[in-house]
Chains A and B, each alone.
Chain A
Amino acid sequence: MSDHRMSDRRAFGVHAVLVAASLAMVVPFVWQVVTSLKTLSDATRVPPTFLPEGRWDNYAKVFDLLPFGEQFVNTVVMAAGRVVGQVLFCSMAAYAFARLRFPGRNVLFGVFLSVLMVPPQLFVIPQYQIMSSLGWLNSLQAIIVPGLFSAFGVFLLRQFFLGLPRELEEAARLDGAGPVRIYWSIMLPLARPGLVALSVLVLLWAWNDLFWPLVVNTDPEKMTLSAGLASLQGQYQTDYPVLMAGSLIASLPVIAVFVFLQRQFIQGIAHTGSKG
């Protein structure tokens, strides 16, 4: 074991490289915070000032320029809807594919997987037309409903269910439990780590999604934060302190969730890697 421990000099070198890289990752965010607390004229001073100035009115201004409160609620509802929908629907399908026997199971699973291979841009025009014909443009349904279904979620959870022991199910079946009972009271509790990993990924993707919300909801009141932010930038190209304040509040909620659920996030990401 002793040869695995690093000499102090080597350890110092490794830390020096890692600290430099970490600074490259973090300094832009620090600069974002500093800029968001300056007046425009101070932000555009050469050479720059490095201390924040406590100009909180940039944050208030974001709410004046955009219906930011509504957009925040839209984003929360969209993300929550997609998470709940995918956890429920994907786990149901994943359980069936992992444990129940029915004719055509493998073919159907192959069809589900084929969706994963298609670049998502191919869905957009027809999805837009469906929304338009339902009268759902500029609505919450438009940004939630297509996101309730996911081939990726089914695939991820099926792998998870396949790894679970069968004994508990067998015992429950001998006691006369049907598939619904087994799914709900045995499989779901056992699969909790998998469900959490999926939830965290869906939350991240939903919160940060731009293309689809940008296309279907063009009314500022119905936009999500990412689309709203993009439109704010479209109008106020150069008011950087306000743009930095807006981008900070928009991205902070997911960053906060990440800090609290770091282990689950990282496991979720590592799971996406294990499909290879």
Chain B
Amino acid sequence: MTTTAGSRAVRAARVEKARRPRAEALWGYAFIAPTGLGLAIFYLWPVLQTAYFSFTEWGAFGGHTWTGLDNYTRLLGDPEVGRAVLNTLTYTALGLVGIPLAIVFAALLNRPGLRGVSVYRTAFFLPVVTMPVAVAMLWRWLYNGDYGLVNQVLATVGIDGPNWIADPATAMYALVVVGIWSSIGYNLIIFLAGMQAIPKELYEAASLDGAGRVRQFFSITLPMLSPTAFFVSIVSVIGSLQLFDLVFVMTGSGQSARANPAYGRLQTVVQLFYERAFVTNDRGYAAAIVIALLVLIAGLTILQFRLQRRWVHYV
């Protein structure tokens, strides 16, 4: 009696054990299903479609025909594309100045015993949480050639400032300043977190050896922070290569953009994509433009991974 009950219990447990992984697997699929389907429909399939569209030409009344590599040969000979790529690369390269700036401010904020850290941090972070459209409108006003605050301040020291965002000589620099201004708080937070993860013993040992604050910054903080700096540089470059909001609004939100004399110096790749895809409805060509952007982003990211051996220290 007891033996049969016992063996039955053992058998039941065995069945249960076999069934549990299967039930668990089913639950696993059920739990990932909503996001899995959503990503498949709205993200993964679209990537393949965009790749396909880049080999087609779109008619005026919808519908598209296969044109092989035509979009790509057109792209390589299109001066507007070349210009947009050059503008985007210039913006990206100049924007990298924001990284050492953020490290310096993070190091200042990270000093032990400093008061008012949260006030400073809030100030730096304010532009990060402000809508980019609002940021761009605000700076367009500050940069106004006749009445902008920037030139009004310069006038007090006798400098006659240009019409910053409409002057081909200054427009790109003016744009980069806004880009750095609005992202420095984000980078600063990441660097602060990175600095707080550096073991205190290193600094204690260094100061026992007589190293001062500046020396400690260069021989402990900077090398220990280099993996964080690498991450920030990867993310900044990817973000800069996709610049749209700031430049779209600063050039006048579409309608009058081409009236801006500096437009040729500002227009980015994504802005060109927007115009081809949704203003002139040349979607096959637009698709080829974003595929080129993907190649550009992938190329620069791989290049950075290759170069990291030269400057990133992993413990």
A residues sitting closer than 8 Å to B (CB atoms) are 3-6, 11, 14-15, 17-18, 21-22, 24-26, 28-29, 31-32, 35, 43-48, 88-90, 92-93, 95-97, 100-103, 105, 108, 111-112, 114-115, 118-130, 145-146, 148-151, 154, 178-180, 183, 204, 207-208, 210-211, 215, 225-226, 229-231, 233-235, 237, 240, 243-244, 247-248, 250-251, 254-255, 258-259, 262, 265-266, 269-270, 272-276
Contacts and interface: CB of A to CB of B under 8 A. Distances in A.
Contact of A31 (B23, B47, B142, B155): B142
Contact of A250 (B119, B133, B254): B133
Contacts of B164: none
B35 A255 contact: no
Contact of B31 (A95, A148, A248, A251): A95
Interface stretch (B5-13, B69-77, B83-91, B228-236): B228-236
Contacts of B137: 229, 233, 243-244, 247
B141 interface: yes
B161 to A, nearest CB: 12
A46 B146 CA distance: 8
B36 A204 contact: no
A240 B270 CA distance: 27
A233 B132 CA distance: 13
Interface in B66-125: 105, 108-109, 111-114, 116, 118-125
Given A96-B32, A119-B290, A234-B254, A247 B134 contact: yes
- Binding site of B, secondary structure by majority: helix, strand, loop or mixed? helix
A208 B245 CA distance: 10
A127 to B, nearest CB: 6
A251 B294 contact: no
Contacts of A17: 108
Contact of A251 (B134, B139, B155): B134
B152 A96 contact: no
A237 B152 CA distance: 20
B24 A100 contact: yes
Interface residues of B, number: 101
B159 interface: no
A266 B125 contact: yes
Contacts of A96: 27-29, 31-32
B211 to A, nearest CB: 11
B138 A100 contact: no
Contacts of B249: 230, 233
Given A31-B149, A208-B132, A270-B193, 17 more contacts: A25-B126, A48-B149, A97-B32, A100-B25, A114-B44, A119-B290, A121-B273, A122-B290, A149-B38, A154-B35, A178-B23, A179-B24, A215-B277, A230-B249, A235-B255, A237-B256, A270-B192
Contacts of A95: 31
A151 B121 contact: no
Given A146-B42, A230-B133, A237 B121 contact: no
B43 interface: yes
Contacts of B21: 101
Contact of A46 (B25, B126, B147, B181): B147
B120 A100 contact: no
Nearest to A268: B189
Contact of A93 (B27, B35, B193): B35
Nearest to A43: B147
B231 to A, nearest CB: 3
B274 interface: yes
Contacts of A276: 227-228, 230-231, 234
B190 A92 contact: no
Given A25-B126, A115-B39, A115-B43, A5 B146 contact: no
Contacts of B291: 122
Contact of B130 (A3, A88, A120, A255): A255
A244 B138 contact: yes
Contact of B123 (A22, A119, A215, A265): A22
Nearest to B25: A102
Interface string B31-65: 11011101101111111011001000000000000
Nearest to A23: B123
A191 to B, nearest CB: 14
B129 interface: yes
B293 A178 contact: no
Given A14-B111, A121-B273, A151 B39 contact: yes
B297 interface: yes
B147 A44 contact: yes
B252 A234 contact: yes
